[in-house]
Amino acid sequence: MNEQPPPAWADKMAPESLRLLQTFVNTHQYTTYPDHLATITTAKQWLREQGFPAPRLDLAQLKRVTVLRETLREVLLAHAGHNTNPPLAQLHTQLKDATVQLTIDQDDTTKATARGKGVDHFINTLAAELLTASLNNTWTRLKACGNHECNVAFYDHSRNATTRYCTTSICANRVRQRTFRERLSGSTE
């Protein structure tokens, strides 16, 4: 539960209202961390740790959850300018049955709260976070790193919201070097 996030996003944590979505996408990072949703057992454990016990999680539900995770990752890559064709239609389909309740506070902030049980409650909570964030204009600040060996979800705290990689020193540099090498090998053909 209190496992520290890897350094790549430890300083780019989303606000509490988007934290579950960020943590969910980062259950699989393409570098050194194991996929927390690789099996039903590990997925159940991860869900329980996030406060969503799903004792009857089956393979079909696990597939639904991991497919949603990768759709979200593609959308977050688009937020960072790495994907010009995000799978929004798929995201709409995957969240079309989500039920959330809207509340408006006295200070006019709008908040969505999830309904349902088990895996549905989990997915509804993600939908509620997405909706709340888009109402509060924070959704597009949640991004995915453009280094395909990393792809972590990070929150862009920069003033202009123009950050494209989780780290400049590691991921942005790595992509720059890779592009440079590809250009060199291309020029010798």
Q: Applying CB under 5 A, which residues contact Zn ion?
A: 145, 147, 150, 166, 171
* Closest distance of CB 117 from Zn ion, Å: 35
In whole angstroms, give the CA distance from residue 21 to residue 127: 9
Closest CB to Zn ion among 14 and 171? 171
In whole angstroms, give the CA distance from residue 122 to residue 157: 26
- Beta bridge mates, 143: 154
Closest CB to Zn ion among 142 and 145? 145
* Closest distance of CB 151 from Zn ion, Å: 7
- Count of beta carbons in the 10 Å neighbourhood of residue 78: 18
In whole angstroms, give the CA distance from residue 186 to residue 189: 6
* Closest distance of CB 186 from Zn ion, Å: 24
Joined together, the tokens standing for residue 86 give 């995000």
* Closest distance of CB 27 from Zn ion, Å: 16
Joined together, the tokens standing for residue 182 give 């590809």
* Closest distance of CB 152 from Zn ion, Å: 5
Which residue type, as a one-letter code, is found at position 51? G
- Tell me the chain's radius of gyration from C-alpha atoms: 18
Closest CB to Zn ion among 139 and 146? 146
Closest CB to Zn ion among 91 and 170? 170
Closest CB to Zn ion among 65 and 145? 145
